[in-house]
Amino acid sequence: MTTAVKAQLGIAALMFAASPWVINAAPHEATMGLVYKIYFYHMPSAWMFMLGAIVAGVASARFLFAKRQASDATAVAAAELAVVFGLLALVTGPLWARKAWGVWWVWDARLTSSLMLFLIFVAYLLLRQFGGPGSEKLSAGLALFGMANVPFIYVSVNYWRTLHPKTSVVPTLPVEMGIPLWFCVTAFLLLFLALLSLRATLERHRARIDALYLSHDEA
């Protein structure tokens, strides 16, 4: 573990420990009351989910076309993080929706497309796990196709059915709500980056051991 990763993890841990107080300090929202504060964890998770998906897609493209072996490790790490943060977003979302909209789940464009993207990355991990040798190439193709698919899923689900707060809500937040939000986003981002580099290093070591083992077997 490098010093940078240690520092990131340490700061993220402190920020997460402090986050209940920071979120508590945020003002009450008139219509939803206390429950809206889930949002301070929900939105950063959803953003890290998107970030993970984008990093996995870009790394996969580099692995596939530029034949950069190291990018494959980044892609796996990012895909795993996308699944973890995606799950967080998909669990915290319905908790909030139950209170705000009165139902656990609605077939809204953003929800459904997030769920679909989540499923694509679960499929990615299943392929890595059970695909056997050579599956890193297939999974890279899957991540690439998954990325290209996002706008289509969004548009189709949008026209199929559309209640989710628009993205434009963020800049219009009052400062007292904005500060805790950006505080949480920073904490999540630090955690994401630390885990990404840790997991990618682990994956690189694993690939190296596999290669060494094979070359030893052949010798």
Partner 1 sequence: MSAFLRVAALVVRKDLTVEVRSLEVVSTTLFFAVTVVLIFAFGFVKEGVPMDGVAAAILWITVAFSGTLALGRTFERERQADTLRALMLAPADRPALYAGKLVGMLLLMALVELILVPLVGLLFQAPIFRAPFRLAGLLAAGTLGFAAIGTLFAAMLVRARSRDVLLPVLLYPMTVPVMIAGVRGTAALFQPQPDAGMAQFWFALLVFFDVVFVTLALWTFEPLMTD
Strand-pairing partners, residue 29, are 33
DSSP 66: S
Residue 11 or 122: which CB sits closer to partner 1? 122
Shortest Cβ distance from residue 122 to partner 1 (Å)? Answer: 8
Largest CA distance in the chain: 71
On whether the CB atoms of residues 86 and 118 are closer than 8 A, the answer is yes
The candidate with the shortest Cα–Cα distance to 119, out of 77, 164, 149, is: 149
SS3 label, residue 29: strand
Residue 145 or 213: which CB sits closer to partner 1? 145
107 binds partner 1 (CB under 8 A): no
The CA distance from 128 to 143, in Å, is 11
Shortest Cβ distance from residue 11 to partner 1 (Å)? Answer: 36
CA distances (Å), origin 193, targets 47, 92, 115, 211: 13, 21, 23, 27
Shortest Cβ distance from residue 157 to partner 1 (Å)? Answer: 7
The CA distance from 44 to 84, in Å, is 13
Residue 62 or 204: which CB sits closer to partner 1? 62
The footprint of partner 1 on residues 117-156 (CB under 8 A) is 119-120, 123, 126-127, 130-135, 137-138, 140-142, 144-146, 148-149, 152-153, 155-156
111 binds partner 1 (CB under 8 A): no
Residues found near partner 1 in the complex (CB under 8 A): 64-65, 116, 119-120, 123, 126-127, 130-135, 137-138, 140-142, 144-146, 148-149, 152-153, 155-157, 159-160
